[in-house]
Amino acid sequence: MNDYYATLGVDRNASPEEIKKAYRKLARKLHPDVAGPDAEEEFKDVQRAYDVLSNPDKRQQFDMGADPNAPGGGGMGGGFGFQDIFETFFGGGQQQRGPIPRARRGQDSLMRIDIDLSEAAFGVTKDIEVDTAVLCGTCKGSCCAPGTNVATCGACHGSGTVQRVARSFLGQVMTTAPCGVCEGYGTIIPSPCSECSGSGRVRSRRTIKIDVPAGVETGVRIKMSGQGEVGPAGGPAGDLYFEIRERKHPIFTRHGDDIACTVEVPMTAAALGTVLEIETLDGVREVDLAPGTQPGQIITLRDLGIGHLHGSGRGSLDITIDVTIPSGLDDEQIELLQRLASLRGEERPAGRVAANSNGVFSRLKEKLSGR
């Protein structure tokens, strides 16, 4: 009986991965297109050894002393198992038609890009460096060394599949499986490109210009079709996605397309009214503060917020007024405030408590009720 382990040069406890690796190495070395016709018999021996050791059922039969490739050996008709029967009669092994194309679409890629609030408001164009797979400059995706080409696989004669006839309790049946030499491609690469190791692509850094539209926010993804990884063997590139992440602003908080901030004003300015200079995303703007402005009052400036992502125009800037109460008064300031309190009859205020008082909202309720 043939020693298939010795033929492949592996240990009897070798894993399926080790067996497959040893087979591929020997198949490439002994293929008639590479080693010549003198190696054909040895090449067939390697194929027979792999046919047995790559199949768990056949390998078990071989380990028990039976040669599945021997006439009449190996259980059901020379090692023909239930999986083979299922594939033959229910189409499992007949799905593939012709060789597998080497060129395949590349994977999509996802990157994150950080932007400021002002960039989200107005949009921005950025140059981003990406590390991705690009077409090999040496072989241009052919996978072959310059001056060489792929060769038709001698094992499957370019079909990408191999067929075999075996006996079962149902009679003789034929099964089809991917060729183990060319891995189903129908061709082999005798001289792989040294630059890309026969893959047709290499890793490289490149700069991509991305237009970030106004109105984006954290979590929004921008798709750039065909800017992802180039596929194996020069296949079409996948898509590149940029996911937006907005940095926190030191002054403004964002609520959809509106932004908000809080401005502190002294009690006297709130009482008498004044003109405030407010820093906005569009630069400094003058804002009229009406006399008698109350703490928590909101001043809304239209079209100074974030640009609408879908449509024209912008959101608003909402300014909350925070009235500061003076402390550390000198004698003259105390006297002035006491005189003011006397003039307004507020020396000993009643201290009316509003029901369910809740700051700004309670004051708004009072105004709506006319109190």
Residue numbers belonging to the annotated binding site for Zn(2+) = 136, 139, 153, 156, 179, 182, 193, 196
Ramachandran bin of 224, using left for φ above 0, alpha for ψ from -120 to 50, beta for the remaining angles: beta
Binding site residues, as ranges?
136, 139, 153, 156, 179, 182, 193, 196
Q: How far apart are alpha carbons 155 and 229 in whole angstroms? A: 32
Sheet holding 109-115, edge to edge: 109-115, 240-246, 221-224
Distance CA(40)–CA(110), nearest Å, equals 48
Strand partners, 168: 171
Task: Give, in order, the Cα–Cα distances in Å from 276 to each of 67, 186, 279.
Answer: 95, 78, 10
Q: Which residue type does 268 have?
A: T
Give me 210's structure tokens: 């991305």
Phi–psi pair at 300, nearest 5 degrees = -105, 125
β-pair type (109-115, 240-246): parallel
User: In Å, what is the CA distance from 244 to each residue of 85, 123, 125, 154, 196?
Assistant: 53, 12, 13, 52, 33
Which residues 6+ apart lie within 8 Å of 138 measured at CB?
Answer: 146, 193, 194, 195, 196
